[in-house]
Structure 1
Amino acid sequence: MKYNALSIVWPNGSKIASGEKKLEIRSWTPPADFDFKGDLLIVENNNFLRKEGEIDPAGKPVALVKIKNVRPFRADDLLDACWDKWEPGLFAWELTDVRPLKSDKVAVAARKIYELEIDL
């Protein structure tokens, strides 16, 4: 099955899956044509992907979520984001309908929101 996916560096993907992390903080927003009603697959990996086109072939699918809203990151978001310092100009992605996955599959982690075909 094809999913829209987002890679998140360990341990934050697991924190999303457990419900501890309710906000994902990014410097960018989803593309204008992003389907907020659809599922987003969270792929946890061990490396920050900083360069365009960079991938990590050793990611792990940890949760399916929906993005309820994307808004400016606020200082009072720190606890829900599992962050320790507020920074201006960032965006808080409000995550909802979190469904943890128990999977031993390996999944490619890539930058931004990307399409991933995987049987969960």
Structure 2
Amino acid sequence: MPKQYHALSIVAPNGERIMQGIKTLEVRSWQPEILPLKDLVIVENQNFLLKEGDEEIGHAIGLVDIESVHSWGVEEIDAACASYWAEGYFAWVISNVRSFEKPIEVPAKRKLYGLSLM
């Protein structure tokens, strides 16, 4: 029976950086409605999904937990693997990283979305 998860699409190579423990913050312009966010599926895809309804094929590569969210600070550029800092963004604190044995081909969508996995 498939299990329902929340998923978050992240443009390559940052999904892999999360799985390797290099990227410990995900920076977004919005916050999740519910915290903590346990067993969030990280879906790595190739392009930024900018418009409502944008979608492409991605790969589910692992699970993480988002314990907290705070205003992103200029001193957190490295933790976010960002090339620059901008005001008004939120840093999602990533913990409990668990990689999948093999990537699973799944849809990559905008924001948080539902995903069924075996």
Bigger share in strand: 2
Same fold, judged at TM 0.5 (above):
yes
Gaps of 5+ in 2: none
Across the aligned residues of Structure 1 and Structure 2, the Cα RMSD in angstroms comes to 1.1
Percent of residue pairs identical: 42
5+ residue gaps in structure 1?
Answer: none
**Segments of 4+ moved more than 3 angstroms:** none
CA contact (8 A) 1:65 1:96 kept: yes
Give matches, 1:34-113, under 5 Å: 34-56=34-56, 58-113=57-112
Q: How high is the TM-score relative to the length of structure 1?
A: 0.92
Whether the 8 Å contact between 1:23 and 1:81 is mirrored in structure 2 is: yes
Instruction: Kindly provide the amino acid, as one letter, of the partner of residue 51 in structure 1.
Output: K
Q: TM-score, normalised by structure 2?
A: 0.93
Deviations 1:16-48 (CA, angstroms, capped at 9, x unpaired) = 0111000000011112xx251521000000011
Contact 1:8-1:45 at 8 Å conserved across structures: yes
CA distance in structure 1 between the aligned counterparts of 2:28 and 2:37, rounded to whole angstroms: 20
Structure number with higher helix proportion: 1
Secondary structure at the counterpart of residue 13 of structure 1: helix
Number of aligned residue pairs:
116
State the match for 1:30 in structure 2.
Answer: 32
